[in-house]
Structure 1
C-alpha cells in the first residue's frame, strides 16, 4: 500500500540555493559523474544538476546514453536526499529505473533532472521525472528505490 508522504518543512533557503555533492576521489564509479548539484523546487520536487564532460561523450560527440542513465539513477537518490526525507539519509538500492530518451544531449551544457516523489511505502520510494538541457526535454524516467536499514544487504 502506498502511503501519503509526510513532508518535512523545507529550510528557508532550500528553493534558492544549490547544494553540492563532491566525489570522494576514492576511485568508485560515482567519481566519474563529477560534482552533483541539488535544489528543492517544492516539498515533493527537486532539481538534480549534472555537468557533462568530454569523457561522457559517445562517438558522435553527444552525451552517452549510459552516462544519462547513470545520472537518472543518481537523480533518484539525490532528489530524495535534497528533500530531506529521513529515510533517504540511510542507504538504499535501485529496484527499477525506466528511461525513455526523447532527444540528444550535448556535453557543453548542464543537464537537469527534475524529479517528483510520487509515493512512499515503508520500504520504497516511487519517483518520476524528466531530464532537460537548456530548456529542451531529453528524457523522461521513473524509478523505485528500496530503503535499506544499514549499509549491508537486507
Structure 2
C-alpha cells in the first residue's frame, strides 16, 4: 500500500508474511541508510522490523555501529506501530527514545527490532522492545514514545 506522502509497504513475494517498508524517495535518510527493510506483525501481538546489516553498517570493530542500531529502532517505532494498526504512515514524530546496548550485532545476519505496545492515548504511543539477531542474541533494549500524526484540517 502506498500513500500520498511517498511511503509504500506491500507483501514481500520472497518472504511470506513479511511486508516491505520503504520510502519512494531513495534520497531520504531511511532509504539511504537501509535500502531493504521488512516488517511483520507476530502472533504474540508484537511486530518486528528487519534490516540486513552490511559492511557500511559497521564500526571499526566490525560490529553493527550503534548509530545503525539507533536508526533501526527509531524507524521500527513507526513501522511496527503501523503493522499493529496504531498509526498510518505520515508525519508522526519521535518524542522520546531510551536505548540500552547489550551486545554486539554482526553484519551478514538479519537484525530485528521487535516492538510491543505499552499504551496508546489519543495523541501518544508508548512502546518498548529489543533488537536481536539469530536465536535471541540481544543487541539492545529500548523504550520510546511517538506522537501520532496530526489530522489534516
Fold equivalence (TM over 0.5): yes
Give, in whole Å, the separation in 2 of the partners of 1:62 and 1:113.
16
Aligned to 2:36: 35
Aligned to 1:22: 22
Aligned to 1:45: 46
1:54-101 per-position Cα deviation (integer Å, ceiling 9, x unaligned): 11111111110001000000010000111122x334420000011101
- Deviating more after overlay: 47-56 vs 69-78: 47-56
Unaligned runs of 5+ in 1: 1-15
1:145 Cα deviation from its structure 2 partner: 0.2
Match of 1:88, SS?
Answer: coil
1:53 Cα deviation from its structure 2 partner: 1.3
Given the two structures, how large is their TM-score scaled by the length of structure 2? 0.81
Given the two structures, how large is their TM-score scaled by the length of structure 1? 0.81
Give, in whole Å, the separation in 1 of the partners of 2:36 and 2:25.
11
Instruction: Summarize the alignment of residues 81-120 of structure 1 with structure 2, pairs less than 5 Å apart.
Output: 81-85=82-86, 87-120=87-120
Aligned to 2:6: none
Give, in whole Å, the separation in 2 of the partners of 1:138 and 1:61.
14
- Asked if 2 retains the 8 angstrom alpha-carbon contact of 1:90 and 1:149, the reply is no
Unaligned runs of 5+ in 2: 1-15
> How many residues align structurally?
135
1:90-117 per-position Cα deviation (integer Å, ceiling 9, x unaligned): 4200000111010000011010111101
Give, in whole Å, the separation in 1 of the partners of 2:104 and 2:26.
31
Aligned to 2:4: none
Bigger RCO (CA 8 Å, 6+ sep) = 1
Give, in whole Å, the separation in 2 of the partners of 1:102 and 1:19.
28
Aligned to 1:5: none
Aligned to 2:13: none
Aligned to 1:6: none
